[in-house]
Structure 1
Amino acid sequence: MSRLIRQVGAGILAGAIAVPMAVHAGDDKDHGHDHERRDTEVRRVLLISVDGLHEQDVARCIAANTCPNMALLAKSGVTYSNAYTPGLSDSFPGLAALVTGGSPKSAGLFYDVSYDRTLYAPSDPTCQGKQGWNVVFDETTGIDAENGGALTHLNGGGDFNPQAIPHAKTNGVCVPVYPHNYVKTNTIFEAVKQQFHGARTAWADKHAWGYDWLNGPSGKGVDDLSRTEINSIDPATGKDYTDVYTHTEQFDNLHVQTIINEIDGKDSTGKQSAAVPTLFGTNFQTLSVAQKAPVASGGGYLDASFTPGKQVADAISYVDDALGKMVAELKSKDLAKSTMVVVTAKHGQSPSDHNKLVKNGDTLVNLLEAHSYLDPNGHFGQNSTTTGSLNDGTGLAGTGFAQTDDVGLIWLRDQSQVKDVVATLKANLGCNAPGICADGPQAYILSGPRLAALFGDPAGGRTPDIIVQPNPGVIYTSSKTKDEEHGGNAPDDSHLGLIVSYPDGHHRERHVDRRVSTTQVAPTILRALGLDPDSLLSVRAEGTRALPGLGEDD
């Protein structure tokens, strides 16, 4: 195995020796549980994902005292300076790492827009047509997007878009595949509910219906899944919430209020009484939007040292203030002394150093099309809809697909062409068209047994045939609206901030420099609650250990 592949594997397979938790036993009077296995004071966990949060962002803002609330969390917990995503850094595999304990190999989530060779089209309810479907579980998964409709409702229209739901033949029966059917492993929400009688779970994220997979295969893991859609049209502005970071703050504020409502013993809407969740959390998008914004407009970073531009500095201050509000509410309800708070990210953003930015258009897909490895006219994936509207169910089946951002995931129309495609890619590694800009020491092309070992066998239908990691800084686009992206395994989008903060007064401040994976968050959460980490299928399959540094003696 080459040095490069060992480095990639380290991000996926990083493990840590499990250690005993550093706090003492306590009854769970908040929920009325009689849970004999409990050996900690942690009675609930609040998990926060700040999309785009690099380790360097955490270190910088704490040192400069520009994130005092995050610093306070760090003082009662462990800060991990060497935490990485498991091989891919899109939102789906990034969040799956946190809540399943697994990489895409076991969780089966590679991107919110991906491909599965075993599935049938949404328009094929009898599973009689071609197999192979471009699975899209994003903003168009809500019923507002049916027939290409405008995303006019914050809740995505209140239901699934039936045109976004593919089919699978299971035991001879053709059945719909909702997002919770699509994830291949169980989640911590299911594990908590199964092992903790009477436990309540909640989550709030950026897409109203695409994140249904958090429920896990049971479809019932999250009791209160807040249905909010970041790409819905704000009637006050006529634009969605991603146009500028200050607008994204308004969207994220909805989630801050959701958490406060839940701390106050209400549901996410604040309209009904509900038990305080045993496991709950949310996602922030403001920092990600500020990072992507063009450097010329104040977005991104000023240099390779992660000196934040105005938008990023403002976004970090906003997130820190939001963390402070949530922690203050925990304290006001006398819950801080029994709540573990985890602050991390699904993914980072690349490149922080604007001098590394390369935007030559989607040269990877162009090269594949030019050699007819995908349809030369672009009739594949979302591009193959007959109406021109995305994810409206009119696309072609069996076409193969390519997903590109700062990575390239390739599902070939003809899998027998893998060697030919790899040869073509290797013959065009340079950064001048038609090159794919993957000629540097941190770039690689994965296929065959090496890819299967890290991500699963493509023959199973879900795993891409080829994964291309271009040089750090390359984004396969010509867009003028963003100067950073994520999805791949470049250092800036895979190296994340991670703080595990124990209840007030129960832990001394520690720093762990050992390399860890964000997959280790899931078993850490279950252990903190006194539950069995091995109840997670991905933890067993990948041998994922709890995070180190949380014991008294290590």
Structure 2
Amino acid sequence: MVLAPVAAAVVCAPVGSATTQQNPKVEHVLLLSLDGFHDGDLTSYAAAHPGSALADVLARGRRYANASAQTPSDSFPATLAMTTGGSPRSTGVYYDVSWDNDLSPAGSDCSTRGALVPFNQTINLNPNAGDSVADINPAKLPRDPDHGCSVVYPHQFLKVNTIYEVAHDAGLRTAVADKHPSYEILAGPSGTGIDDFYGPEFNAAKSDIAKIMANDELKVVAVLNQIDGFTHDRSAVVGVPAIFGMNFQAPNIGQKFSGYVDAAGTIPQSVTTLGPLTGTAPGLAQALDYVDGAVGRMLSRLEADGLTDDTMVVLTAKHANSPVDRGALRWVDPSGFAPLVNSVQPGLTAQVTADTMALIWLKDRSRAADAAAVLEANAAAIGAGTVTSGAAVGDLFAGQLGGNPGRIPDIVVQPVAGVVYAAPNAKLVDHGSGSPEDTHVPLVIIEPGRKGGRTLTCPVSLRQVAPTVLRALGLRESLLDAVRLEGTQRLTNGDEC
């Protein structure tokens, strides 16, 4: 993928220089996300499979048993939390599909402002391409009227820098493998932070557990090649990246189309009679076995290549999923939001993004309280637990820093437990909300030279991963814009919190 030059993002100037590492603890950081995984899933899987790779990770690592993903618990803000140290209030990114009142629509002449920002598969040249040919179609990107009506790539939309940019600026090699070409956002506003990017689109496989494992395997092979010192496609010898890793979708899709047996999170062995869909194995159990095997292959390859003592491994999940209890599941069609909002004023709805939380942007922001009142009056129909609007929305994201007023949603609907915004029989779980089921994720760090098998119970955030990674590489965490803006601290590595 060829990254576009930076033009649109407004970022904070970094403090100092990243040209020199100071007392690095490791030479490499392998960052793995098992999307959809709950902290409890790690516990139960390791207990049921004591000889597994995941059990080995727990035995060798430092576990943070009270780790929380970013809210909204969508992959985009959650990934950015881990790699910038920031929440949406500094990154300016609230979801993969969002709205920006200051940008102009794709393909327009920038004569109007207010644009959909769809950084998912819909901006691809081919939304269903499942390999390295997947790439972004500039014609589908929003435009920036303040910069010559230029298109805005994902990395240009981001308002703060990333761990990949800091490492790259220090002369270290970086790599990323993730589920959409739009994850080039991790290159950061400069567009130069990633030396080896691989984004095999997962859209065509996202409703088929067997296909999603095959899609994940593309990324696993890429990471194994990088451990060996090659590029992701093994076309050139370049050295092992300082920061690299991948995202697994198998647990996420396994939960969506196989689900759990009960509220305790018991994992089914087949999907033949479970959930709204019919079919046979593979199910969630097979998806987790695949992930465990893939993680094991990576750890074994690190050992075989003599890299174990030089590599920090971070195993976590961008988000979990809800509801675990299939008996609590209630589908609510998200198409019902726009008619209610538009009853206040015709055409008032700009964008509704809804999974297990609904984010609503309005074309006339002054009507937010009126629209929220209508939604509250219809709370039972839309499955709403709370409806937050106007300035109070900022409080849901720990306040605002003033850098993204045109992007923050006008209304946020947190549903009652069990609600998934989807058509009936579409899926068993989803994510996006700030509920514990969506945000209580595993976080384990294997750090060479530190005792493993420890569990820390203090509350921590995935935002703390970013400064922890930089410090392990001997780079100053203060070089991250979001760390300075939000005061994000490193994860403690002591015996107590």
Could you say whether these structures have the same fold, taking a TM-score greater than 0.5 normalized by the shorter chain as the test? yes
Q: Aligned letter for 2:426?
A: T
How far does the alpha carbon of each residue in 1:145-191 deviate from its partner, in whole angstroms, 9 at most, with x for none? 5xxxxx3462354x421222111133x63322111100111111001
Q: Aligned letter for 2:202?
A: I
CA contact (8 A) 2:173 2:241 kept: yes
Aligned mates of 2:308, 2:365 — CA distance in 1: 53
Residue in 2 that maps onto 1:201: 174
Q: CA RMSD in A?
A: 2.1
CA offset at residue 136 of structure 1? 0.8
Give runs of aligned pairs for residues 210-225 of structure 1, distance below 5 A.
Answer: 210-225=182-197
CA offset at residue 552 of structure 1? 6.5
Is 2:337 the counterpart of 1:365?
yes
Q: TM-score when scaled to structure 1?
A: 0.80
Secondary structure at 1:487 match in 2: coil
- Which of 466, 473, 480 is the equivalent residue of 1:522? 466
CA contact (8 A) 1:43 1:339 kept: yes
Is 2:57 the counterpart of 1:73?
yes
Q: Aligned letter for 2:290?
A: Y
Aligned mates of 1:143, 1:484 — CA distance in 2: 29
Aligned mates of 1:258, 1:307 — CA distance in 2: 32
Is 2:138 the counterpart of 1:162?
yes
Q: Aligned letter for 1:551?
A: G
Residue in 2 that maps onto 1:306: 265
Is 2:311 the counterpart of 1:336?
no
Give runs of aligned pairs for residues 229-268 of structure 1, distance below 5 A.
Answer: 229-231=201-203, 240-268=204-232
Residue in 1 that maps onto 2:126: 144
CA contact (8 A) 1:85 1:347 kept: yes
Residue in 2 that maps onto 1:174: 149
Secondary structure at 1:308 match in 2: coil
Aligned mates of 2:51, 2:142 — CA distance in 1: 44
Aligned mates of 2:495, 2:317 — CA distance in 1: 26
Percent pairwise identity: 38
Which segment is superposed worse, 480-489 or 255-264? 480-489
Q: 1:414 to 1:156 in 2, by over 3 A?
A: farther
CA offset at residue 490 of structure 1? 2.0
Residue in 1 that maps onto 2:7: none
Give runs of aligned pairs for residues 73-472 of structure 1, distance below 5 A.
Answer: 73-125=57-109, 127=110, 129-145=111-127, 151-152=128-129, 154-157=131-134, 159-170=135-146, 173-194=148-169, 196-197=170-171, 199-207=172-180, 209-231=181-203, 240-293=204-257, 299-310=258-269, 311-362=283-334, 364-369=336-341, 371-373=343-345, 375=347, 400-430=350-380, 435-438=381-384, 443-455=385-397, 456=400, 460-472=405-417
CA contact (8 A) 1:67 1:320 kept: no
CA contact (8 A) 1:452 1:458 kept: no
CA offset at residue 224 of structure 1? 0.3
Is 2:494 the counterpart of 1:551?
yes
Residue in 2 that maps onto 1:19: none
How far does the alpha carbon of each residue in 1:455-482 deviate from its partner, in whole angstroms, 9 at most, with x for none? 3369821110111110121012224231
Residue in 1 that maps onto 2:5: none
How far does the alpha carbon of each residue in 1:338-387 deviate from its partner, in whole angstroms, 9 at most, with x for none? 100001111111100011101132265155355155638xxxxxxxxxxx
Aligned mates of 1:302, 1:421 — CA distance in 2: 39
Aligned mates of 1:113, 1:57 — CA distance in 2: 28
Residue in 2 that maps onto 1:539: 483
What are structure 1's unaligned runs of at least 5 residues?
1-32, 146-150, 232-239, 294-298, 377-398
How many residue pairs get aligned? The number is 464
Q: TM-score when scaled to structure 2?
A: 0.89
What are structure 2's unaligned runs of at least 5 residues?
1-17, 270-282
Q: Aligned letter for 1:81?
A: A
CA contact (8 A) 2:456 2:495 kept: no
CA contact (8 A) 1:143 1:156 kept: no
Q: Aligned letter for 1:280?
A: F
CA contact (8 A) 1:101 1:519 kept: yes
Residue in 1 that maps onto 2:14: none
Secondary structure at 2:360 match in 1: strand
